[in-house]
Structure formats: C-alpha cells, structure tokens
Amino acid sequence: MAYCPTCGALNEEQATFCPKCGNSLSSPPAPSYTGYAQTPFDRSFKGAGPLLKAFLGFILVLLIVEVVNALSGESSFANRFGNFLNDNLLLIFLILLLAAYSGYSSRRYAKEYSVLSPLIAAIIITFVLWILANIMDLLGSSNDVNELETIATLLFSILYIIFLLVLLIGYIGVIMRADRPQPPQVIPPAASGPIYNDGAQPSQPYYPAKKLGRSSRDKVFAGVCGGMAEYLNLDPFLMRVLWVVGILVSAGTFLVAYLILAIVLPKNP
C-alpha cells in the first residue's frame, strides 16, 4: 500500500495515479546536482572574476614598484629591483592572469582542467623560483654577498629541471587519480510536500575548496609535504622526493622555503 503525497489517500502498490485526486504516484527522477566547488566570488562575477583578481594583484605589484622606486635613491638593491619589476610588468600580469584563471577552472571545470593543471602548476612554480633567483642575485650583487649570487646562479641553471620534475610528478598524480574509483554522488533528499519556486532552477550546492595547510595525519617533520600532497591529490612520498631533490639542487634554498611554510601555513584539522 502507498500513500498519495498530495492528498494522503491510501492506494495499491501497483497504482500509478491516485483515484481520489488524480496525482501521479510514480517517483519523479531525482535531480542531478553537478556541485562545482565554486566560491561566492565565482558565482557573482563568473568568468570575469579571474580577470578582476588579476587586475587587483597587478595593482598591488604597481604599488610595490612605486614603494621600491621611492627607496631607490637610498638603496642600490631597491633601484635595481625596481628596474627589474618595471621590465617584467607584462610578464607578471600574464602569470597573475594564468594563476587566476587556473584557480577558477579547477573549480568550474575540474574534470577538463585536470589535464592542464600539471603544466600550469609547473609554469607558475618555475616563474616564482625565477623571481626568487633574481631577488637573490640582486641582493648578492648589491651587497657583495657572493654566496647569494652563487645560489642564484645555481637556481637559474636548474630551473628547467624543476619545471620538468614538477610536470612529471603532476601527470603521475593525474594518472593515479584517474584510476581511483569515483565516490558515489550524494543527492539531497526530496523535501516533504510540494515545492513552489515559480519555475526557478534549484541553486547548486556550494562545496568549499580545499585549503593548503600542514597535514595533521601524514607528517614526518611539520606536515608541509603531507599537506601539499593532500591539496594536490598526490602521493606524499613523491612530494617528499620533490622537496629533497629541490633542497639538494638549490643548495639549501628549498630548506629555507620549507621552514617558512612550516611557520606560515595553518594546520589542517
């Protein structure tokens, strides 16, 4: 026996229509929810959001340029660093744009973006290390610190190796994720009683994006490698190998970066 969801009349199990009110007793197809991990910013500005973020970041870079130029008369490093930023403003804006659209695409088109994500991540990481190498070179040459110049020269020479290593590990992660079984789709239960929404489409649920932090479950020293592996969906062992190689080929620069991340990054629950 089955009750009619509209009038509450008791009907036979095989009945398709309620004889009292005429309502269909067949179960309607469950709604399909795609559920992209979009932020409120994404939903408000859509495809223009990453462009807006890139412009905001570029304005911050211009502010840094103006501050550095104001100090250029008192510091040789500030003068040379300001010239470096001015010469690479277009490249910096393009990288900011790439990073902004990369984050948006990873939330809006997660499946399609996974093919390009290792390449984009390798480009962005290599660019950040290139900026770091230039800063160390400028600091070393401006203050006669030969050690900084040596580290900068070494970092310049291995940038392509780091790019290929990040690219390789990234695509290994993509292949490993493709072989994993997909979790079952969770569909919210239907509300009891009729729902009147004037024909409006149901809003898609919001799933907050993952946050980069130190892992509390998979850690050897501070959980930085484990947290990055969880964030990028990579094997923690591969992430640790990447960091060890980076520390060796950068003459300790990656070790300093690791310690900074261990202090700055929050601990994941």
Q: How many residues does the chain have?
A: 269
Give a yes or no: residue 43 inside a domain.
no
Instruction: Tell me which residue range forms the domain holding 237.
Output: 129-178+210-269
Assess if residue 31 is contained within a domain.
Answer: no
pLDDT value, residue 84? 92
Residue 95, in any domain of the structure? no
Residue 2 banded pLDDT, cuts 50, 70, 90 = low
pLDDT band at 31 (very low <50, low <70, confident <90, very high): very low
Helix (H, G, I), strand (E, B) or coil at 190: coil
Least confident of 49-53, 95-99, 151-155, 240-244: 240-244
Q: What average pLDDT does range 26-43 have in this prediction?
A: 55
Q: Indicate left, alpha or beta for 115 from its phi (over 0: left) and psi (-120 to 50: alpha).
A: alpha
DSSP 183: P
pLDDT tens, position by position, 57-79: 899 889 988 888 888 877 888 88
The answer for 219, left when phi > 0, alpha when psi is -120 to 50, beta otherwise, is beta
Mean pLDDT of 36-44: 68
CB 57 within 8 A of CB 50: no
Structure tokens at 187: 């569909």
What is the number of domains present in the chain? 1
Residue 256 within any structural domain of the chain: yes
Beta pairing partners, 2: 11
pLDDT band at 266; cut points 50, 70, 90: confident
Which residues, other chains included, contact 166 with Cβ-Cβ below 8 Å and sequence gap of 6+? 118, 121, 122, 125, 126, 242
Tell me how crowded residue 26 is: count the other CB atoms within 10 A of its CB.
8
- Digit-coded pLDDT (tens) for 193-236: 444 444 444 444 444 445 667 877 766 677 788 787 777 776 67
Cα–Cα distance, 225 to 218 (Å, whole number): 8
Query: Is residue 269 one of the residues assigned to a domain?
Result: yes
Within-domain flag for 15 = no
Give the best-scoring range by mean pLDDT among 68-77, 156-165, 248-257: 156-165
The token duo for 163 is 């790019």
Q: Strand, coil or helix: what is 137?
A: helix
Residue-level pLDDT at 179: 63
